[in-house]
Amino acid sequence: MKHSTFLYMWLLVVILSVCCGLATVWAQDGPPSAIDTGDTAWILVSSALVLCMTLPGLALFYGGLVRTKNVLGTLMHTAVILCMISIVWVLLGYTLAFGTDVGGVIGSLEFLFSMGVGQDAFPGTGIPHLTFMVFQLMFAAITVALITGSFAERMKFTALLLFAVLWSVLIYSPLAHWVWGGGWLAEMGALDFAGGAVVHISSGFAALVCALVLGQRKGYGVESMVPHNLPMTVLGTGLLWFGWFGFNAGSALGANGGAASAFVATHIAACAGGCSWMGAEWLRTGKPTMLGLASGIIAGLATITPGAGFVSPLAALLIGLVAGVVCYAAVVLKIRLGYDDSLDVVAIHGVGGFTGILATGLFASVGAQGLFYGNPGQFVIQFVLAVSTLVFVLVGTFVILKIVDLLVGLRVTPEEEEVGLDLSQHSERAYS
């Protein structure tokens, strides 16, 4: 009953939007002179690279970490979020984030259903408005997909769909507006090059709330929950890394020196993060592990994201080294605290993003100055950015989860959890 109510709601939204879209004359201007072909080519490619981070990158990264009985359900979380959030973004999310600022908190509805988003250059860039919109779409999609790691192996599929849509519209879009769309944090001069706050703090701490509200997996701490296929996770790591060049270097919004700077910083931080996590783990447990190395690489990438375009290669190296150790410590702390963030979204993305936003306030030297370059005010702004994002996400995610719980219930039944998501939610098996 509840199940079908949700499906009808979703269907209604889709049909209404398609009707509105059809009734609209799309803005089709001639090729405007301000478009830079090199910039446009790079951002189009970057958009596709960020897509590759989500599917298959993140899907495989997470898929390998769960147990055999949940791998399809886990892959599907990421894949379906990519599809649904892309639609939500084109219809509503984009205008809330990048429409004309209303009171510093939200975008106007001027681009509702992407009306008026055409081939003309996006202000301040040499790329078409459509290109900017689709590049941002990929960010919106991956941010929600990142959260799924925290409630892996136990969330009901209908609850996931509802949560994803509500979270994207009510949390992601406003946040993107505050930081990138001319909102109050942008006005303050907050620096978030490619989404340390908007993507990583937000998904990371939404993940914390999800892990706490949904509770531990059945059998947590008693049964073995060993990853079922680490080579799959390593493949996902490689694809995430590859796509991250589009994520970070693409955030320069042009094919220029800034993009090159972000590209180099991204790569160095990934390598440093991998080395330092592996080293920390080696010292603590006596063995370097493949999963540790892969986790460190992702921690380095997440942590350099907000500062990628603002720091020197040497600063990126330091940020990466710190990221590996801090994020590993956060994983160890999670085990002590006993909350079941199944795939460590909080430790890697939340803590990594938070660290990165603060590090940007310290190390910024390219196009902006941080504390170490004579501008202590920037560090204060970065602190406000990190903390306000954190608080907004914690409260907002909690409210959304409670609403979803009331409407459809968050968790699968204990029997379904025992059988696994693949069979109980989707009636299929990954390996037969």
Partner 1 sequence: MKLVTAIIKPFKLDEVKDALTEAGIQGMTVSEVKGFGRQKGHKETYRGTEYQIDFVPKVKIELAVADSMEEKVMETLRTAAKTGSIGDGKIFVSDLNSVIRIRTGETGEGAL
Minimum Å gap between C-beta 298 and partner 1 is 11
Minimum Å gap between C-beta 40 and partner 1 is 41
**How many C-beta atoms surround the C-beta of residue 255 within 10 A?**
22
- State the Cα–Cα distance between residues 87 and 409, nearest whole angstrom: 24
Binding string, residues 96-135; x marks residues near partner 1 by CB under 8 A: ----------------------------------------
- State the Cα–Cα distance between residues 215 and 94, nearest whole angstrom: 33
**Contact region for partner 1 (CB under 8 A) — 52-60, 289-297, 298-306, 401-409?**
289-297
Q: Which is nearer to partner 1, 13 or 329 (CB)?
A: 329
Minimum Å gap between C-beta 202 and partner 1 is 22
Q: Which is nearer to partner 1, 254 or 352 (CB)?
A: 352
Rg, C-alpha atoms of the chain: 21
Q: Which is nearer to partner 1, 61 or 98 (CB)?
A: 61
Q: How far is CA 172 from CA 166, 167, 200, 225, in A?
A: 9, 7, 11, 31
Q: Which is nearer to partner 1, 245 or 328 (CB)?
A: 328
Q: Which is nearer to partner 1, 338 or 374 (CB)?
A: 338
Phi-psi region of 408 (alpha: psi -120 to 50; beta: other; left: phi over 0): alpha
Minimum Å gap between C-beta 128 and partner 1 is 42
Tokens 């959890």 belong to residue: 417
344, 346, 379, 422: residue in contact with partner 1 (rule CB under 8 A) = 344
Minimum Å gap between C-beta 320 and partner 1 is 18
17, 216, 256, 289: residue in contact with partner 1 (rule CB under 8 A) = 289
Say if residue 218 is exposed, middle or buried (CB neighbours under 10 Å; 0-12, 13-18, 19+). Answer: middle
Determine if 153 is a binding residue for partner 1 (CB under 8 A). Answer: no
Stretch 229-288 residues interacting with partner 1 (CB under 8 A):
281, 284-285, 287
258, 292, 300, 361: residue in contact with partner 1 (rule CB under 8 A) = 292
∠ CA 329-318-53, nearest 5°, is 75
Number of residues that bind partner 1 (CB under 8 A): 17
- State the Cα–Cα distance between residues 181 and 105, nearest whole angstrom: 9
Stretch 211-230 residues interacting with partner 1 (CB under 8 A):
224-227
48, 188, 291, 419: residue in contact with partner 1 (rule CB under 8 A) = 291
Alpha helix (H) residue ranges in 286-350:
290-304, 313-337, 345
Could you tell me the two tokens for 411?
């968790």
- State the Cα–Cα distance between residues 161 and 174, nearest whole angstrom: 20
Minimum Å gap between C-beta 285 and partner 1 is 5
- State the Cα–Cα distance between residues 308 and 262, nearest whole angstrom: 5
Stretch 313-332 residues interacting with partner 1 (CB under 8 A):
328, 331-332
Q: Which is nearer to partner 1, 291 or 403 (CB)?
A: 291
Q: Coil, helix or strand for 411?
A: strand
Residue 87 carries which side chain, given as an amino acid letter?
Answer: I
Q: Which is nearer to partner 1, 39 or 281 (CB)?
A: 281
Minimum Å gap between C-beta 281 and partner 1 is 7
Which residues contact residue 196 at a Cβ distance below 8 angstroms, ignoring those fewer than 6 apart?
302, 303, 305, 306, 307, 353, 354, 356, 357, 360
> In the complex, which residues of this chain contact partner 1 (CB under 8 A)?
224-227, 281, 284-285, 287, 289, 291-292, 295, 328, 331-332, 335, 344
